[in-house]
Amino acid sequence: MVLLMNENFKHIPVIVLAAGDSKRMGSPKGLLNYKGKPFISLQIEHLQDIGFSEIIIVLGKARDIYLDKIPELKDFKLVTNALPERGAFSSILCGLSKISDLNRIGAFILPVDVPCPEKDVWVQLIEGLRTSEANVTIPSFEGKKGHPVFLSAEFIDYLLTCSSDSRLDFEIHKQINQQKAKIISVKDLNITLNLNTIEEWEAFKVKEWK
């Protein structure tokens, strides 16, 4: 399999979505303590270890709290969604609009509450797009789809024309119907996780996150 070296990830953006209100969790998910560090800091460390350098972080109403707790976030490309109540798609649009150069293969979307999966997942998603006519590749673990998703530059251009109250899952479903989406079977359970509640978080914390 190609694209295993870190330098091959340097020019592919990753948009980390952290603008939600986290109502079910009760506090910003990215600031949850995981083994002594804020969860979003570990997400970023994992992404950097894989080789990503363009990491775009979309924050919402808790922006000042994030920056107070983690000042080093200023070293990354930060975007603020002033109206996160419009939904996750509005945050996706905020992030996509800040990609430095769309003359590339595409970009990843990773919600902050999905633990960063192992490197091979990202490689498989890139290769799935490169070797097909798909506009989006989606990971699947034992038949359950998840994140991150990898969007082609062409699909990104289209999404940027959509209204902020659209939904990425609906747009991806259209691509599936048009046979322009590719589902990639992977071996990492993390792609299926959504750490939305305290119970889900507590269950995750006792596991070893690779």
Query: Does any domain span residue 82?
Result: yes
Domain extent, residue 132, equals 9-205
pLDDT in tens, 150-162: 999 999 999 999 9
178 three-state secondary structure: coil
Task: Give residue 2's pLDDT.
Answer: 45
Query: Does any domain span residue 4?
Result: no
Query: Does any domain span residue 1?
Result: no
Task: Give residue 102's pLDDT.
Answer: 57
Query: Does any domain span residue 2?
Result: no
Query: Does any domain span residue 52?
Result: yes
Tally of CB atoms within 10 A around 144:
10
Query: Does any domain span residue 144?
Result: yes
How open is the CA angle 16-21-23, to the nearest 5 degrees? 125
CATH of the domain at 80: 3.90.550.10
Query: Does any domain span residue 103?
Result: yes
> How many domains, the chain?
1
Mean pLDDT calculated for residue range 203-208: 86
Query: Does any domain span residue 3?
Result: no
* Distance set, CA 198 to CA 28, 159, 202 (Å): 12, 33, 6
Single pTM value for the model: 0.93
Strand positions, DSSP E, 27-118: 33-34, 37-38, 55-59, 77-80, 106-111
